[in-house]
Amino acid sequence: MNKLERESLAFSLLADVIESLDDWNTSGDNKFWSDSSKNCLKIIGKFMLYYSTIDKNFKKQHFNLASFNQFLSYKEFSKGKWINILQNSQSQEIKNFFLSEVKPLIENNDRTLTSQLSGAVNAIVKFNNDLAIKSWSCRHNIEIEKIILDSHLDNGKPFAIFIKFPDHKKDRHRYISILIDQIYQTAIDIANASKNQKLKRTLLFLVMSLVICLLLKILTIKLLLREVEIFSFHCFARFKPIS
């Protein structure tokens, strides 16, 4: 995979994650504000990706959704240190990014930009205020791609990932969805890169209890759209006896 392909993949994954952060408006008068808020987050994410090529001390543990929050005040977004970094960069690619994507946005009037940023803040706030979610989203020591590749039959390293969460806390369901979606997408990418477009080892997806209700929204669409043997899907229901 060359540099442009890696960048394209990174930006695509970034857009997918941002899309999954909130129930963004896709029509009507509020679509403009949703699209603008998503754009603010995408630009911050792209800056972090570009910055990692400039500052070798900027590691993957620094690239997390909780870190986005520091950019989302009007003052920091429009006049912060990151703007100077972009403007003074020696990289033509980064300068083009600033001129084509960042500059038009920060030149909006104060009221418009503040409203655009408020939507971005609402989408990202959980990753900063909820310590459990912040801790989970800041982890960088789990590499799903490596785990799946290492599990291939010739490597002989089967694995299991247990996803445990409080079902009664509905506000956390979205973040579980993001995690499962990333595992699924990684499996799809690995399968696409293989000659027969299949994983060498079937990825079993075992669902316990009523969690199936949460997952149906994610998986039914994906499994219907793509006829590739990625998942062997199983659901187990647990019932308490009536005394």
pLDDT by residue, tens only, the chain of 243 residues: 688 888 888 888 888 888 877 778 888 888 999 999 999 999 999 999 999 888 888 877 677 777 888 899 999 999 999 999 999 999 999 999 999 999 999 999 999 999 999 999 988 877 665 655 555 555 555 677 787 887 776 667 777 777 776 666 666 666 677 777 778 878 888 888 888 888 877 777 776 655 555 555 555 444 443 433 444 444 444 433 333
**Residue 109 in domain:** yes
Judged by DSSP in three states, 235 sits in strand
Q: How many helices and strands, by DSSP H and E, does the chain display?
A: 13, 2
- Answer with the one of 105, 129, 153 that is the final residue of a domain: 129
Report the number of distinct structural domains present in the chain: 2
Within this chain, do residues 117 and 150 fall inside the same structural domain, yes or no?
no
**pLDDT value of residue 238:** 41
216 Cβ neighbours under 8 A, 6+ residues apart: none
Within this chain, do residues 115 and 223 fall inside the same structural domain, yes or no?
no
**Residue 217 in domain:** yes
**Residue 63 in domain:** yes
**Residue 20 in domain:** yes
Within this chain, do residues 67 and 179 fall inside the same structural domain, yes or no?
no
**pLDDT value of residue 228:** 39
Within this chain, do residues 92 and 160 fall inside the same structural domain, yes or no?
no
**pLDDT value of residue 240:** 39
- Answer with the one of 91, 107, 129 that is the final residue of a domain: 129
Q: Which residues form the domain of 107?
A: 3-129
**Residue 98 in domain:** yes
Q: Which helix (H) or strand (E) holds 206?
A: strand 203-208
| pTM for this predicted structure | 0.65
Task: Identify which of 114, 202, 189 has the alpha carbon closest to the alpha carbon of residue 152.
Answer: 202
Are 48 and 67 in contact by the 8 Å Cβ rule? The answer is yes
Share in percent of the chain as helix, strand, coil (round to 5): 65, 5, 30
**Residue 242 in domain:** no
Q: Which helix (H) or strand (E) holds 34?
A: helix 31-54
